[in-house]
Amino acid sequence: MVQIPRRWKRHRIVSRLDRSLRQKVNECVERIVQEGDVPSRQNPRSIMDLLIREHAEAMLEERKGGVYGRLELSSSEEEMIFSNLKTMLLGGHSTSMSTLCFLFMLLSKAPDVVEKMHREHIEQLGASPTVTLLDNPSMLRRLPYTEAVIKESPRLYPLGSDLKQAPPGTTITTHDGRRLPNANGLIMTASTHTIHYDANIYPDRTSFRPERWIDPEKAPTGPGYFRAFGGDGRTCPGQNMGMNILKIVMVITMGKYTFDCAGLAPNKEPRTKHTNLYLVFRDTAFQQLGLDGRPGDGMMMTVGKKA
């Protein structure tokens, strides 16, 4: 038996991914050039449109001038576009899965929330919610309670924080008004976890309470208070798609299945001060550091079918 080195396996996977991305990008460029309409930055049809718009615009100008060259990307364009696409593919996959894991965990102990959310699906989407969404995906906008439920998961379990390099001369203002210098181009971050557990912003901060997002007079306002998708001008470009994916999963599953965390052994005494979820979910309540704040040791569930 011949052992294939891990590096060679990784090379094969990356090469296969590059070929797939190259095909999709070229198809998108060809479509834009044939239609003769370059999407604007303000109203793109997809993230792909934003990444290739400058290349497509240049190709379209050449066609108008009678130059019919190749539509393929240059090596530098491929490197830039592929690196961004891979980042979004990998980042979007792991973060969505981690959010779903914690969301199912929280819902497993909140049957009243599950019932209220499912009732919203029936009232807004009818007896066959999935069919309704296939016919009219924009109906996802009519699910405010479902969106509130989803937002509570990354509030309680934020997956990461922004990392930014401060420009020269930047200072940090402390809570007591002191200004501290930030020398040597240090990387700075705002702790999403600290913000999401601030009792001044989120009363009853450790509770899974979707209703906090419904009342406009009580709901936290401003991008600085809910940082699940980043903030300060560098928000996640796929946040709308990610939220829609989570809504679709909720619509598909909540009316058909039940979810229970497997092997729970709640503790009688709290281990930490920042949360009491440990009393319900024990070690499952804590995140494991990786590319994102993912469930520690997986998230085992017992899934049943509703009668």
Identify any residues that bridge with 289 across adjacent strands, giving them in sequence order.
293
Q: Would you put residue 276 in left (φ > 0), alpha (ψ -120 to 50) or beta? A: alpha
DSSP string, 143-177: -HHHHHHHHHHHHHS------EEPPTT-EEE-TTS
Was 236 annotated as part of a binding site? yes
Cα gap 160→29, rounded to integer Å: 34
Q: 198 near 205, Cβ under 8 Å?
A: yes
- Residue with structure tokens 């240049």? 58
Cα gap 37→43, rounded to integer Å: 12
Cα gap 210→244, rounded to integer Å: 17
The SS3 assignment for 260 reads strand
Q: Cα dist. 143→64, 212, 244, 277, 304 in Å?
A: 45, 15, 10, 27, 25
Q: Which residues are annotated as a binding site?
A: 236
Q: Which residues are annotated as a binding site for heme?
A: 236
